[in-house]
Structure 1
Amino acid sequence: METSVAIILKRCTKIPTAENYIGVDKGALTLARNGKRMLLAIGDFDSVEERDLSCIKDYSDTFIQLNPIKDDTDSEAAVMYAIEKGYQKINLYGGLGGRLDHAMINLRLVSRFCETVYLHDENNYIYSLGEGIHSIEKYDYTYISFFTEDESIITLEGMKYPLSNQKLTNKDTYTTSNEILAEKGIVTVHAGKVTVIQSKDA
């Protein structure tokens, strides 16, 4: 089974190339209008016209319409579906910008599902790392920053501002705007987990 899936949210402006898609709310409509087959279309679809629902259903293997009165966001419901189906890498597109509360939920999904949920937009690539030694590719991003929701201990190698067995807390801000010096840098997480943001200016 293919182990990765792209979840397209309603603010996604460019559809990435992927083998498997899940469409969320207007993201499902974007996929359908571009002829992309979906494993799942999910959401309360409160921002989708009734006439467009049939188009979404035609392009989805499974269609789930959620009650607008619910505890989980549409993106969280899509992530949980993908995890239950065994997908090991879940790429979220269109989850930044727009409503800040929804962006915060998507950032928390990244932290909650370490090394599983990856959040993308045109200028940012966000994911979390658990304990271990991680080789990080620079790609075309200029900066790399590190945050933790609790506490962690990290070592950074091959970066402009290296660290050695440094304790990091959720109050620290000095780990922003670092840079990978060559093609790759090394991040060792000795304890806890960290959220990584690779970014570039627009």
Structure 2
Amino acid sequence: MTKVCVIFGAGEYYGSPDASLIPSDAYIVAADGGLDHTRALGIAPNVVVGDFDSLEGARPSADAGTRTVVLPPLKDDPDMLSALKIGWAAGCREFRIWGGLGGRVDHTLSNIQLMALLAQHGASGYLFGDGTVVTAICDGKLEFAAHSVPEEGRMVSVFSLSDVSLDVNEPGLKYELEHGTLTNTVVQGVSNEFRDNVPSAISVARGTLIVTFPAEVALPAVDRNHEFSGSIGELDTEVSALLVH
């Protein structure tokens, strides 16, 4: 089983993280202001990374026993991508992220794009916030176990991040899309629903989907159509080369 990387970001938390989703052997990364949250939760991270522009508490000391990666403020990679790269280098291919939603909308959009980056390299990422989980799947399937659904229902939505996503199927959901084609400018997958005690799935033969579902639903099993290669890149700790001096 792939080791899980749990990342604490500086965004909104909407209450304490679900402890059951933080495995005892998880690789913990605090991204910048996420260190404030790990301290409040009494969680010791394996690594702290960031330029510390969002950290409210004291910077980690050199003798704290935690690896600290200090990034320059004028950099290309956002702190969250650096945290993902650190987890990737540690061998993790499943990432569970708190503090990656809410707050600044540009950070939220950036983090959703990063879920797609992971999916396009054969990994899984989950953003938790405000009762919702955001994930991505590329050329594969998310399988949700049957579960009890409240009377008022909770929404599951599907969006194409790629220009075109081919052969999209949603068996077991209220609206059972079959062999559909989704694009990134036509909204056809929003506000679907799980059915009470009915297993369901969301699959795409070719393309990348962004999927949102209620936080009380168990994380899906992931099945990929083919092997993926490459990595999400090396950790970059340099000042951006794009700056004009």
- Give the Cα–Cα distance (whole angstroms) in 2 for the partners of residues 164 and 16 of structure 1: 34
TM-score scaled by length of structure 2: 0.73
Q: CA deviation at 1:77?
A: 0.6
The counterpart of 1:98, out of the listed 80, 103, 127, is 103
Q: Is the 8 A contact 2:2 2:94 kept in 1?
A: no
Specify the code of the residue in structure 1 equivalent to 2:207.
G
TM-score scaled by length of structure 1: 0.87
Q: CA deviation at 1:40?
A: 0.5
Length, aligned pairs only: 198
Give the structure 2 partner of residue 116 of structure 1.
124
Deviates more, 1:166-175 or 1:19-28: 19-28
Unaligned runs of 5+ residues in structure 2 are 216-245
- Give the Cα–Cα distance (whole angstroms) in 2 for the partners of residues 134 and 30 of structure 1: 30
- Structure 1 residue 23 and structure 2 residue 37: aligned? no
Give the structure 2 partner of residue 52 of structure 1.
58
2:74 match: secondary structure: coil
- Give the Cα–Cα distance (whole angstroms) in 1 for the partners of residues 105 and 184 of structure 2: 19
Q: Is the 8 A contact 2:171 2:200 kept in 1?
A: yes
- Give the Cα–Cα distance (whole angstroms) in 1 for the partners of residues 48 and 18 of structure 2: 17
The counterpart of 2:178, out of the listed 160, 164, 182, is 164
More helix by share: 1
Structure 1 residues 54 and 41: CA distance shift in structure 2, 3 A: closer
Q: Is the 8 A contact 1:32 1:55 kept in 2?
A: no
Q: Is the 8 A contact 2:8 2:34 kept in 1?
A: yes
- Give the Cα–Cα distance (whole angstroms) in 1 for the partners of residues 154 and 36 of structure 2: 33
Q: Is the 8 A contact 1:29 1:55 kept in 2?
A: no
- Give the Cα–Cα distance (whole angstroms) in 2 for the partners of residues 57 and 31 of structure 1: 18
- Structure 1 residue 192 and structure 2 residue 207: aligned? yes
Q: Deviations over 1:157-197 (max 9, x none)?
A: 11111111111111121210001113321223222221111
Same amino acid, percent of matched pairs = 24
More strand by share: 1
- Give the Cα–Cα distance (whole angstroms) in 1 for the partners of residues 63 and 146 of structure 2: 39
Consecutive aligned runs of 4 or more in structure 1 exceeding 3 Å deviation? 54-57, 137-141
- Give the Cα–Cα distance (whole angstroms) in 2 for the partners of residues 57 and 37 of structure 1: 14
The counterpart of 1:143, out of the listed 145, 155, 164, is 155
